[in-house]
Structure 1
Amino acid sequence: MLLTPALTALAAVAQPSTAHAAGPVTTLTDGFYVDPDSTAQQWIDAHRADGRAGAIQSSIADVPTARWFGNWSGAIGTATGAYTGAAAAKGRLPILVAYNIPDRDICAGQSGGGAGSPAEYATWIAAFAGGIGSRPAVVVLEPDALGGESCMTPAQTAVRNAMLRNAVAQFKAKAPNTLLYLDAGNPAWVGADTMARRLVDAGVGGAHGFSLNVSNFLPTTQNTAYGNAVNAVLRSTKGYTKPFVVDTSRNGNGSDGTWCNPPGRRIGTPTRWGGGAEMLLWIKAPGESDGNCGTGAGSSGGQFLPEVAYKLIYGY
């Protein structure tokens, strides 16, 4: 898919600069927006004397990472407009996550919630896209929504797909410079042929692409192989393929087979263009809890845990 002129210009800025590390591959992140109010940065600002603050600043807070938007975000159009406006003022490309679909996280439940009805969600997602407007942005649409269809009835699935198709249409109409990625779970969840069908049913034909490994730990190579397998099915059944992005925020040590605050994981390749996918992105913020489980026992989903963040830096 061709980028609009605005996105083409930002993509050029975001590509690795010759002023940085030698060699054809770099993890430097020119062009992507660093959230100045991330949970990691908030913790650092309040704990400057903590011995972990320096490492968390340089290894996590300074890395471009997605900001998640949901029913905690207040007036959503105002929120997305302010965030993308701040990024545009710096000439940077922001990464946003839309996470408010009804019956959110229906399989695991640690991040349950979402809009109260399909109508409420339709209003919310239209305002989300409208707030971005013509500003360039990357948006990951509803992590786990398609993977979670495994836990839904056919009737529930039909309603969810209709909501996602409408969301894709809203971004196409209201946010033309947004690279929209419909979330496609991860390789350990749903087979590539099934996920390709779910993507089609949810309207991926109108989106820029799909996202993989959000909040998970699977290696980048496993995700790129899966993304290519999904695209092979799309090519054979629909005659097109789609770019995909991989969440590398916590996959530096791969997966131990569990998903909820497992020990021994490590931060992965920082946000960048390329790397086997269209982009490698930090979508899940390292140090934010997956829920009341594992190394985050007693916490809630999204709560920043400095000890977990610190251990992710060093892999223990």
Structure 2
Amino acid sequence: MTPRTRRRARLVVVAAAIAVAAAAIAAIVGTATGLFRGEAQPPGPGTRFAVLAESAAATASVTATGAERAAADYLAAQPTAYWLTPERDPIGTVQGRVAGLAAEARAQQATLALVIYGLPERDCGNHSAGGLDAADYPTWIGEIAAALAAASDVPAVIVLEPDSLALAPECGNLDARVPQLRAAISALQRPGTWIYLDGGHSNWHPAAQTAQLLQAVGTDGVRGFATNVSNFNDTDAEVSYAHAVAAALRDLGAGDTHALIDTSRNGAGSDGQWCNPPGRRVGAASGTIGDDVVDTNLWIKVPGESDGPCNGGPAAGQWWPAAAIELTRDARG
């Protein structure tokens, strides 16, 4: 072999080695990127949910002092869902808000958790009354969907319209809710997004009735249902209830469905009240439980925000320092 031939052979070997190394690196990067895009399994125990700077606790901690500051700081550090409402994030701004939240989740390589809460005639005129006009709701949902589609690398959990189904028998509006929710599901669907409908809680409707309400909407395009949202029921009771609802849905021909449980304020269980009951505590941290039906738990309700003007609380959704202190009393030692 001539010197020129030997040099050519060495170059071929080196080039081949570089190509193999590059392919290996690309495979590793591609796998990591693919996992972050939601190509992995749906949420489960160990899921890392984003800690968002836009939280009410983070805002409160800037000016608070003493015990109020300690409670706000503790809650600000916990992964908690962000509630999208048209009052805070209206049409024209909600897309930018979601884009910013997705950027935070991306930086943390974490799952973004959102609550969408803007249906027309929301909460049947109770403490959280409001929402959009029927004509505007699809526009608002469309802006949220566009932001999520643009952030296709960020996995997301969506709790879609709490109370929308569990309140429907009382409000008499199930016929209106079904097409509204179905249209929202169609707009929000994308790989790496898991949507959970309103599943009430274990002290509300019987599991069979909840399953019928869920089946009225249909489970195509959704992961399942969320339970105990903004409530205080013990986790074990909610797990049992979720299993019963999932079984009832199977009996109705819905196939396998899964649940997400709100543990934000159920550390001391329920005393039967739903509106700012005293003596409550934060529950298990997000992403710490799960089984074959319950995907995992999440702090869905924002601890420290009032349920409404009851038991000494301010208007619904407003930060209430006294509640934050009480909820975190044990967690902060």
Within a 5 Å distance, the mapping from 1:137-148 to structure 2 comes to 137-148=156-167
Shift, 1:242, TM fit: 0.9
Q: Distance in 2 between matches of 1:252 and 1:61?
A: 18
What letter is aligned with 1:221? D
Give the match's secondary structure for 1:181: strand
Q: Which moved more, 1:83-92 or 1:65-74?
A: 83-92
Q: Distance in 1 between matches of 2:231 and 2:312?
A: 15
Partner of 1:104: 122
What letter is aligned with 1:210? F
Within a 5 Å distance, the mapping from 1:124-203 to structure 2 comes to 124-133=140-149, 134=152, 135-153=154-172, 156-172=173-189, 175-203=190-218
Q: Which of 223, 228, 232 lines up with 1:208 in the alignment?
A: 223
Shift, 1:9, TM fit: 4.8
Q: Which moved more, 1:212-221 or 1:143-152?
A: 143-152
Give the match's secondary structure for 1:129: helix
Give the match's secondary structure for 1:278: strand
CA distance 1:55–1:124, shift in 2 (3 Å) = closer
- Using the size of structure 1 for normalisation, the TM-score is 0.86
Q: Distance in 1 between matches of 2:204 and 2:42?
A: 31
Within a 5 Å distance, the mapping from 1:1-316 to structure 2 comes to 5=35, 6-9=37-40, 16=46, 31-47=48-64, 49-58=65-74, 60-71=75-86, 72-74=88-90, 75-106=93-124, 109-117=126-134, 119-133=135-149, 134=152, 135-153=154-172, 156-172=173-189, 175-276=190-291, 277-296=294-313, 299-314=314-329
Partner of 1:25: none
Q: Distance in 2 between matches of 1:193 and 1:38?
A: 36
Q: Distance in 2 between matches of 1:239 and 1:168?
A: 16
What letter is aligned with 1:81? A
Gaps of 5+ in 1: 17-29
CA RMSD of aligned residues (A): 2.1
* Aligned residues with identical type, % of pairs: 36
- Using the size of structure 2 for normalisation, the TM-score is 0.82
Gaps of 5+ in 2: 1-33
Q: Distance in 1 between matches of 2:317 and 2:216?
A: 30
Alpha carbons 1:11, 1:31 under 8 Å: kept:
no
Shift, 1:184, TM fit: 1.0
What letter is aligned with 2:141? I
Give the match's secondary structure for 1:314: coil
